[in-house]
Every structure is written in structure tokens, then in C-alpha cells.
């Protein structure tokens, strides 16, 4: 159950919304189209002023509330809100909403009306931040999500698996998109498929709870892979609902080919260092690079700790592979690279790029070795 909110926006010719009489005509057109959909529509309140333009509140049986505002500068907004109980049909389905939007656009053509893409918020989340959705960017992505497949909260994070019509099932952690069934390119670029040779190699994965990286690496015939993942519940969810990207690797915690250790990766990295254990490859499949003005705070401290421990675990000719952020996050990527340049002993790095379908943007990946 949820409150459904559908926002329709139109730009109009400002010369045709400048006066009260003109705005009243726009309001008449809007109400006429609304009455084709909401057959018991009633006007509850309206206000008109030169400073604020036109504003009205309409309702249907007092269950569906519609607010309409016409700005004298040439902007029309119509907001439809209602409560959707579990198992009930929406008052304004996707098809009905699109028909209403198109009818309004057609009726407003004489006023040079242009529709702005509709926003819909309701029982199934459709909007998530991109890698650059912070104060400086304010960018969100709309997905064609139609079903909440799974939801739970572990001791570490909120876990959701949502279904997208075009991307398949998607793993969302703490309201951030992580991976979808469409995203093999992410895993292949992270591991440098076709470039790196994993046959007979010893590998450590930090994170990777969706199982996709482990699944693809095992196809390359490594000697052994150890994966350090803190959240058992993530693995259980992905094993059940994302097995198209992880196969059956999350069904067992230990085989001759690999071992999955459930726990804090930093603690186990320290243990491996104390034991003198070394790897040919260490993968950082953990948190994204923070969006910040300076490399300070808990997340940056964690990244530096992962760097330091990872290079203590690598063989002299070993390689650290990790993801960055969207390529448009220039400042954060520069801060990340500055932290790499500060490492001792010195390291060098290269980068690769790939457009990740569910991220809807180009993503940067790092390959880091001893200098």
C-alpha cells in the first residue's frame, strides 16, 4: 500500500497565461479533460491573483485529490494524489495516465503547450540516484520497474530486488542501484575479460555479494578464489532472485575451487597478512567512491584502508582491480586517483570504461599494479 503521486507538467506560451482571463481559460481546458477520466470531479477550492497565478484543488469522492496551478510565466502543473490499498487497482493506471497526458497536450496545442515527461511515485519505486546524484548534480534515473520482488533489512543495509521490464531483476542496496541481470558488461570490464589471464591464479574478492564476479571468474579456471562478503542476507537474496548472473556459486560457502567467508573483509585481510598469504589478483568490489570536495570522512578512510591492505596481500607482479564511478564524476575520480598516488610503495594504474545498462551511464574501472 502506498500514496500514488502523478505529476503532469506543461510549458505554455507565457503570452497566453499572463492575465486572469487567460489562466481561467487554461483551467477550463484542464478541467474538461480531467472530467473525461474523473467522472465525479468536484471543485473544492480555487484562487487567482496576479502575483501567484491560478491555483485550484479538485477531488473525486474526496479520495483522489488533484491540484492544478497555472503560473503567469507559462507553466502548468497538475498533481494527482490518492491512496492505493494493497490488492486494489490504481485510480490512474499507466495507460490511463498516458491517455490523459496526451489529451491534455492536444487540447493545449493552441496555447503552444509542450508536455514535460510525467513523474509517477507510488507503491513500486521507479526513481534512483545516479552516481552523480548529490547536491552539486541532483540527477535521478527513472526505471521501468513494475514489481518489488524482494525486500528485507539486514544488520548492515536495506536490501531490495526489483524487476525492470528492460533490465531484468535489479539489486538495490540502501536505495542505490548495484547490479542488474542486464549488466554482464560491468563484471567483464571489472575483470578485464580477454585481457587478464586467471588460469591457475589465486584470487581474493573483497565484497562481491551478488556473486556475479565469482561466477564469471570461475569460468577462467583459477587455482582458487576466496570471497570476503559481510552480508549473508544479500547472498541469499541474489542466489534466489539473481541466479542468472551468479549461477549456483552462492549455494555453497566452500568448494575445491572457492571459499566464501562471511565477515568484515578488513578483519580477514589483516588475518591473511599476518599469515603471509599472497594473491595474484585482489578485487575491490565494495562501496562506490564518495562524492565529496575532499578525501575526508569514514568512507575515504575505508578506501585508504582497503588500498593499504590489498597491496600487502598482492604478489610482486599482482594486480588490484576495482571500479570507480560514473565518468562524469570528475572531481571524485581525481580524488580517488590522488589517494592511489600517495600509496607506498608506489603504484601505477590504467583505466577502462564501459556503459553499464542499469547505471544508464559510462563507468570507469581501475587496474592497479606496483610501479
- Catalytic (active-site) positions: 285
Phi/psi for 275 (5° steps) reads -85, -10
CB 145 within 8 A of CB 126: yes
DSSP state of 253: S
Alpha-carbon Rg for the chain in angstroms: 26
Task: Supply 26's cell numbers.
Answer: 487554461
Bridge partners of residue 141, in order along the sequence? 128
Nearest to 64, CA basis, from 37, 25, 87: 37
Tally: H helices and E strands in the chain: 9, 19
Q: What strands, in cross-sheet order, belong to the sheet with 224-229?
A: 258-262, 224-229, 202-207, 279-285, 314-326, 361-370, 347-356
Task: Supply 152's cell numbers.
Answer: 528485507
* Sequence-separated (6 or more) residues with CB below 8 Å from residue 300: 290, 292, 335, 339
Report the alpha-carbon distance of residue 171 to residue 348 in Å, rounded: 32
Return the SS3 of 210: coil
* Sequence-separated (6 or more) residues with CB below 8 Å from residue 204: 225, 226, 227, 228, 272, 279, 281, 282, 283, 313
Report the alpha-carbon distance of residue 166 to residue 150 in Å, rounded: 18
Amino acid at each position: 500500500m502506498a500514496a500514488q503521486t502523478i505529476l503532469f507538467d506543461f510549458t505554455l506560451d507565457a503570452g497566453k497565461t499572463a492575465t486572469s482571463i487567460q489562466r481561467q481559460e487554461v483551467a477550463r481546458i484542464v478541467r474538461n479533460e480531467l472530467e473525461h477520466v474523473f467522472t465525479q470531479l468536484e471543485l473544492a477550492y480555487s484562487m487567482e491573483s496576479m502575483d501567484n497565478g491560478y491555483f485550484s484543488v479538485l477531488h473525486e469522492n474526496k479520495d483522489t485529490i488533484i491540484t492544478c496551478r497555472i503560473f503567469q510565466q507559462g507553466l502548468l502543473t497538475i498533481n494527482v494524489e490518492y491512496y492505493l490499498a494493497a490488492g486494489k487497482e490504481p485510480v490512474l493506471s499507466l495507460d490511463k495516465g498516458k491517455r490523459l497526458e496526451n489529451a491534455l497536450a492536444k487540447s493545449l496545442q493552441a496555447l503552444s503547450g509542450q508536455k514535460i515527461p510525467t513523474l509517477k511515485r507510488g507503491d513500486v519505486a521507479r526513481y534512483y540516484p545516479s552516481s552523480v546524484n548529490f547536491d552539486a548534480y541532483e540527477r535521478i534515473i527513472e526505471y521501468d520497474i513494475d514489481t518489488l520482488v524482494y525486500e528485507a533489512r539486514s544488520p548492515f543495509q536495506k536490501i531490495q530486488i526489483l524487476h525492470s521490464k528492460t533490465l531484468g531483476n535489479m539489486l538495490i542496496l540502501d536505495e542505490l542501484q548495484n547490479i542488474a541481470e542486464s549488466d554482464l558488461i560491468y563484471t567483464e570490464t571489472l575483470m578485464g575479460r580477454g585481457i587478464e589471464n586467471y588460469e591457475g591464479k589465486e584470487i581474493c574478492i573483497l565484497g562481491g555479494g551478488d556473486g556475479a564476479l565469482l561466477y564469471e571468474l570461475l569460468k577462467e579456471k583459477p587455482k582458487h578464489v576466496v570471497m570476503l562478503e559481510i552480508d549473508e542476507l544479500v547472498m541469499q537474496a541474489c542466489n534466489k532472485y539473481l541466479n542468472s548472473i551468479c549461477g549456483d556459486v552462492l549455494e555453497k560457502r566452500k568448494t575445491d575451487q572457492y571459499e566464501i567467508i562471511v565477515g568484515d573483509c578488513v578483519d580477514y585481510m589483516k588475518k591473511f597478512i599476518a599469515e603471509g598469504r599472497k594473491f595474484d589478483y585482489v578485487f575491490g568490489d565494495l562501496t562506490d567512491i564518495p562524492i565529496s570536495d575532499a578525501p575526508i570522512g569514514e568512507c575515504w578512510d575505508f578506501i585508504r584502508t582497503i588500498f593499504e591492505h590489498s597491496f600487502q596481500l598482492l604478489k610482486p607482479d599482482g594486480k588490484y582491480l576495482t571500479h570507480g564511478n560514473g565518468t562524469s564524476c570528475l572531481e571524485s575520480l581525481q580524488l580517488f586517483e590522488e589517494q592511489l598516488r600517495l600509496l607506498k610503495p608506489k603504484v601505477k594504474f590504467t583505466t577502462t570504461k564501459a556503459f553499464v545498462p542499469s547505471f544508464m551511464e559510462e563507468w570507469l574501472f581501475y587496474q592497479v599494479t606496483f610501479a
